[in-house]
Chains A and B, each alone.
Chain A
Amino acid sequence: MKYLLIIQGENSPELLERLLRVCRHRGFSVQKISGETTENEKSLHITLTVCSDRPVSLLSKQIDKLFGITQVVAISQEQAIRASA
């Protein structure tokens, strides 16, 4: 299954690394990534497309626990298609 993750965090030099490590370790492969810093580099906005046989809640809850992450929203691909249709 493919999922879209929309993630907001307080920017720090290692936040992206931290995030990608959790994705890999919890069994999700990253298929697409885009991100940018905002507000004088104070916050980081990232969208990830990930793929896994596991339910996305396993990943989103782990990301949510990371210190510095302020928001994470997970959308399954089907939901995303329905929303854009």
Chain B
Amino acid sequence: MNGANFIVQALKQQNITQVFGYPGGAIMPLYDALYDGGLDHLLCRHEQGAAMAAIGYARATGRVGVCIATSGPGATNLITGLADALLDSIPIVAITGQVASNLMGTDAFQEIDVLGLSLACTKHSFLVQSVEQLGPIIEKAFQIATSGRPGPVLIDIPKDIQLADIAESPLFEQLTIEQKLTFPLELSLIRQAKEMIKIASKPLLYVGGGVGMANATQALRNFIQYTYIPSVCTLKGIGAIEHNSEYFMGMVGMHGSKAANLAIQECDLLIAVGARFDDRVTGKLEEFANHAKVLHLDIDAAEIDKLRIADLAITDDLNEVLPALEVETYISAWQKNILTMKQDFAISYNHPGKMIYAPALLHLLSEMKPADTVICSDVGQHQMWVAQHMFVDRPENHISSSGLGTMGFGIPAAVGAQMARPNDTVIVVSGDGSFMMNVQELGTIKRKKLPIKIVLIDNQRLGMVRQWQKLFFDGRYSETILTDNPDFVTLASAFDIPGETIVIKSQIQGALTRLLDSDGAYLLHVSISEEENVWPLVPPGAANDKMMESLQ
């Protein structure tokens, strides 16, 4: 067998069944091996789409996503996807072809230094220098992608190595030995943490994406059920706690709920669980939870004390830590306070006039969607409305580009999610700006006949930037007006995707029913007013309790 066949066998050995990619010159041997190699390959229509489909696949399942591209432009097109996976800690393995070893460093056709390019946007990257290295490198790549804090790993493979002869399956004895090092919990730390929780009168859980990544959703829910400690979550933490959990206040931060942001500022113990004090969460860092001691639970030691000094930190597996921290609490006054805030600041979906109010539409869609629906979001105002007004009860069911905020993420992520979970409904919520950024992936939906439901919230603007221009740049709408958008329903129809446009409230119910009942893909194009803003908003540089709630 040659190197390329070997790669296919090695991927299968890693329990990979599905890959996403795009062929080209330097990766042709691998594509030849994929032709009848027994792996399912989905052709995306841009390498960025392939990377984001791999992310969607990984996020919808918790497994590793794999994407493949050729050298040069194929590899550079992957970069944004790798960066997205890095900032959201998503385990993907990217395989790129490279020009033949003897041509490397000569500025050969489609040659670029991919290893150099990857340093800032992967957890780790490899350049394979001999065919014998292929086995150990692929093994290590999967191990690195999934261990500790997960992340993207790139393997760059020169064409001559893909073509070189290799003895059949030499690597498999050393493969799949689970190298899970478990250290016993440090009991003194656990004791101190329990004491902190016990004496706190206003403890608050601040829950991030790490809970889902650690498969610790159940451990967290058990902890909450035992302690009844109130909670908030980050954008990536959505789904970790059931949306109707009694003392759960939803998302915290720049567009967080009022109750969540006020509770953060009031709490006396902040228990950060798989969260990293991102600037979009903290607002003005010096004033974030400034009455609180911090107990930080995260697998990544580099996150401890990075932005907020923790009074106590534990970097072990949440599945071991959380059960060990279960302790009785006496916080009824605080709980009452939380319930009062939840009631006083409950979201109202009353909206005057005939024009469609996107938050109300998304809330209704959330109520109508089948159980275990995956919601993929693009980036912008609609992304925040999804986070605020739709609800899911599994982190795998809310897929949103959180750390990098990558416009164009939604459609390819939905492609990956639908491939991973063919029996579940997958909904993409996109905006007119984001939709156009990876619109070519409608071709992928057509190719595989994926029944993805697309809700396109169209305000003919780059809405989030427009909102900031309105609020902070004197209404100077520099390059955010998109009144020259294409006819989206016609555009979708070119890919055999039926659809409709709605503009007034009375059309919503019927349109959502048709969307959800459609057998195949469907585009629901929703026209809304460009004047709509995302509220509340913590202005840049302000503390979280200084929320703006309207234009006044």
Contacts and interface: CB of A to CB of B under 8 A. Distances in A.
Interface string A5-27: 00000000110011001000100
Contact of A21 (B120, B124, B127, B144): B120
A56 B140 CA distance: 29
A33 to B, nearest CB: 18
Interface stretch (B51-59, B87-95, B158-166, B298-306): B298-306
B115 interface: yes
A1 to B, nearest CB: 16
B127 A13 contact: yes
Given A58-B306, A62-B302, A67-B144, A18 B127 contact: no
Contacts of B144: 67
Interface in B112-149: 115-116, 119-120, 123-124, 127, 140, 144
A30 B140 CA distance: 31
A57 B116 CA distance: 26
A55 B124 CA distance: 25
Interface in B494-522: none
B210 to A, nearest CB: 15
A18 B301 contact: no
A61 B302 contact: yes
A57 B303 CA distance: 11
Interface residues of B, number: 15
Contacts of B127: 13-14
Interface residues of A, number: 15
B120 A65 contact: no
Contacts of A61: 301-302, 304
B305 A65 contact: no
A53 to B, nearest CB: 15
Contact of B300 (A14, A17, A21, A65): A65
A13 B133 CA distance: 15
B115 A14 contact: yes
Nearest to A14: B115
Nearest to B118: A14
B119 A18 contact: yes
Contacts of B124: 66-67
A41 B90 CA distance: 33
B114 to A, nearest CB: 11
Contacts of A57: 305
Interface string A33-77: 000000000000000000000010110011011110000000000
A67 B144 CA distance: 8
A61 B305 CA distance: 10
Contacts of A62: 302
B385 to A, nearest CB: 33
Given A58-B306, A67-B124, A67-B144, A14 B119 contact: yes
Contacts of B305: 55, 57-58
B305 to A, nearest CB: 7
Nearest to A66: B124
Contacts of B119: 14, 17-18, 21
Nearest to A19: B119
A48 to B, nearest CB: 17
Given A13-B127, A14-B115, A64 B302 contact: yes
B3 to A, nearest CB: 20
A60 to B, nearest CB: 9
A13 B302 CA distance: 25
B75 to A, nearest CB: 15
A25 B124 CA distance: 16
A63 to B, nearest CB: 9
CB-CB nearest 5 A-B residue pairs:
A61-B302, A67-B124, A21-B119, A62-B302, A65-B302
Given A21-B119, A65-B302, A67-B123, 4 more contacts: A14-B116, A14-B127, A65-B301, A67-B124
15 contacts: A14-B115, A14-B127, A17-B119, A21-B119, A21-B120, A25-B120, A55-B305, A57-B305, A58-B302, A61-B301, A61-B304, A64-B301, A65-B301, A65-B302, A66-B124
